Structure 1
Amino acid sequence: MNHEPISPITEDDIANYLANTPDFFERHASLLAAVQLTSPHGQRAVSLQERQAGMLREKIRGLELKAADMIRHGQENTAIADKLQRWTRELLRAREARELPAVAAREIAAQFLVPQVAIKVWGVSPEHAGEPFAQGASDDVMAFASSLTRPYCGTNPGLEAARWLDDPSTAASLALIPLRAGAAPQAFGLLVLASGDAQRFASDMGTDFLERIGELTSAAMSRLRPLVPASVV
């Protein structure tokens, strides 16, 4: 008479049995107290209850760290929002349109601790054509600005726009932010942020905040441009 070989019981079989038999430990309560496990903090043996309590403490500690991170990020976001509000407020307080580029650059430097800031705007109204901010942008720079679909962040490879800075030689990293009227493909200006820290404007950094800065700057600098007749819009 042939007998089929009996498969040995595996750890999975035991785990499945215990998972599907929740009253097992009720019938064998003393077993829980007798189980000894190796402590994760040494070679000493600990009871199952002590091991579970340790795991629970670790989980609580992890949740506390996550909560602390959330609070810290919330505080950082609030601080950034406050700085952005103060910067925007100064733009709104500018009485003369010709003051806007200087105000925007000065307040970005002050509020966000950017060592060097420069801005150029082209296609301005005739009354602003002689202002320093309307001078010095070559056709190449204008084309480069229009080609940017998002801010450029990275090292300074000798870009022409970096020469607008007070001290280009100390600019280890740059953020170049194109200025546009809404969704227009052509840029009408370029905002340059520079730092001596090569990682301040790293090539892999997120640009969402810089894009918001660009949108607000674009809206403010639109006061420098000729009015577009309503029939053309």
Structure 2
Amino acid sequence: MNRTDRLYALVEHLRACAPSRVSARALAARFEVSLRTIERDIAALQQGGVPIYADVGRSGGYTLDKSRTLPPLNFTPAEAVAVAISLGRAEGSPFSRSARTALQKIVAAMSAADGASARELAGRIRLLAPLDAGEPASVPAVLEEAMSARRVVRLAYADADGVETERDVEPVAFTGGTRAWYLIGWCRLRGDARVFRIDRVRRAVLLEETAPERRFEDLAENPPDAIVRALEFV
């Protein structure tokens, strides 16, 4: 069994045993590897966002939080690759870091055979990008948290001329595409709605204050050369 297959099998075994804990020694024996290898595998899964927890002591071991994982899914290999293609184009977009861990969880929840077929099919997909296209500016994690938790955020923001100002902003929405992303919010410095280009945000600090609820439709109109549409979740 190669390491990728072992990681997927390890997740499924822990899910099947949860909430009981499984010792590293038992896992090493089951997968016929060393204790050090199991510890490295567990660390890799944890870093990938899989909710595996460890307890020390004689009755300790590893367990998986089943409430935060998916049961075996009926994703076909083609469906899983379709999700991967969409997520592969999400670099620099809001929550792109979460997109990577989401994909890992989807594949880990598939059967071993379907997971292997999905990886083989994914190996035959190539994404093109313009030669002069630099890496898109990633949305800072603090802005993602401000949007998720609806918290006021303090920005140090540079305008098109490089003039920097500090302002408290109530986040309302992210908007953008493949080349640039923007934060739409209520700017308390200007007392009005403003659009902030993400790559011009120099610093961002999350404040303790909860932002008042504001609707995107009340703040912004569609630009003349584009249509702003909501993300379709289902």
Same fold (TM over 0.5): no
Q: TM-score scaled to structure 2, two decimals?
A: 0.22
Structure with greater helix percent: 1
Structure whose alpha-carbon radius of gyration is higher: 1
Q: From the two aligned structures, give the one with the greater strand fraction.
A: 2
